[in-house]
Amino acid sequence: MKLIIAIVQDEDASRLVSDLMTANFGVTKLATTGGFLRAGNTTLLVGVEDDRFQAAMDIIETVCKSRKQIAASPVSMVGVPGAYTPYPIEVVVGGATIFVLTVDQFLKL
């Protein structure tokens, strides 16, 4: 058995949860915040049997596509300590960051 920990953008989370549940995968949804953009993310915990692992990964890959977005990035102003001026930068968002753990034991009480 595997535990998939998938960190996805909030924008993709609802569809991903829906698609996983339609395929009979159990999903636990956690609201999280990313460090770089300080934007809302969703972390999903999905326990899967080894023979269904690839099916779950295929659903995640289909739903969570990367895209470009303009974000404000703080930069310090030269000569003014502690002063920051935001300027727009293009960043890639979306997709999924996935951790896969082997589960030795699963209990549902």
Domains of the chain listed by start with CATH number:
2-66+93-102 (3.30.70.120)
In contact, 12 and 62? CB cutoff 8 Å: no
Phi, psi of 24 (to 5 degrees): 65, 35
Q: What percent of the chain has pLDDT over 70?
A: 71
What are 26-67's pLDDT values in tens digits? 999 998 876 655 667 899 999 999 999 999 999 999 999 877
**pLDDT of res. 77:** 52
Distance CA 29, CA 46 (A): 9
The residue among 93 and 64 whose pLDDT is bigger is 64
What is d(CA 88, CA 72) in angstroms, rounded to the nearest whole number? 4
Q: Which helix (H) or strand (E) holds 36?
A: none
Give the CA diameter of the chain.
61
